[in-house]
Amino acid sequence: MFEISEKVVYGVLGACEIVDIATPPIKGIEGNYYFLQPIYDSKGIIYSPVDGNHTLAMRTIISHNKAEELVERAKNCKEDDALNEKISPSQYDDMIKSQDVDILLHMVRFLYDTKIERAKDLRKMKSIDSRMLTMAKKLLYGELAVALERDLQEVTEEMDSYLGR
């Protein structure tokens, strides 16, 4: 069970803070729910049942050490064979839903490579690639910023400079 003030990753919303555990103020709903406030999004409060019948996965934020490892991998992404493997668009949804930061890092790296290659031919990214890049960056960079206790914009600029070259 998670605690109030704990930071978690919730589905494709990304980093959230548990602001309360109570019954939501919605008619007909009973039982305890986590009241989740997205950290980098002003969508309002999300309610998730405490009893474990989650439709979306929820897990704790990665550790500070794991976040630093990911930043180091990003710095050396050109030499990291695993980050340079091709990805099929049919894998995108499963990769996003996995909540696996290593997979998200690979995805961001691959999609930046795709963007660079298309730009060389004076072409734009395909819309699916563009949407998935935005989503993967939101999930990965948001979690890194929380784990490293740094500003999201700062983390975004740093990671983009590593992965987007």
DSSP 5: T
Say yes or no: 144 and 86 in one domain. yes
pLDDT given for residue 55 in this prediction = 60
Q: Token pair for residue 106?
A: 């690979």
What phi, psi does 21 have (nearest 5°)?
-130, 110
Q: What is the pLDDT averaged over residues 36-54?
A: 84
pTM for the whole structure: 0.91
Beta bridge partners of 8: 16, 60
- Partners of 9 in beta bridges: 15, 59
pLDDT tens column, 99-130: 999 999 999 999 999 999 988 888 999 999 99
The CATH number of residue 143's host domain is 1.20.58.1290
Q: Is residue 82 part of a domain?
A: yes
Average pLDDT over residues 37-62: 84
- Indicate whether 114 and 158 sit together in one domain: yes
Distances (CA, A) of 49 to 16, 21, 31: 15, 9, 8
pLDDT at 52: 67
Q: Compute the Cα dihedral for 16, 19, 22, 24 and give only its sign.
A: negative
Would you say 136 and 104 are in contact if contact means Cβ atoms under 8 Å apart?
yes
Nearest residue to 35 via CA among 27, 46, 51: 46
Q: Which of 65, 130, 142 is nearest to 99 (CA)?
A: 142
Residues 41, 163: Cα–Cα separation, whole Å: 23
In terms of domains, do 95 and 125 share one?
yes
**Owner of token pair 């930043």:** 71
pLDDT at residue 63 in the model: 97
- Cα–Cα distance for residue pair 137/148, rounded to 1 Å: 16
Q: Token pair for residue 102?
A: 């290593």
Q: Which range marks the domain in which residue 45 is found? A: 7-59
Total domains in the chain come to: 2
| Domain identity same for 67 and 113 | yes
Contact 31, 51 (CB under 8 A): yes
Query: pLDDT-based confidence at 91, cuts 50/70/90?
Result: very high
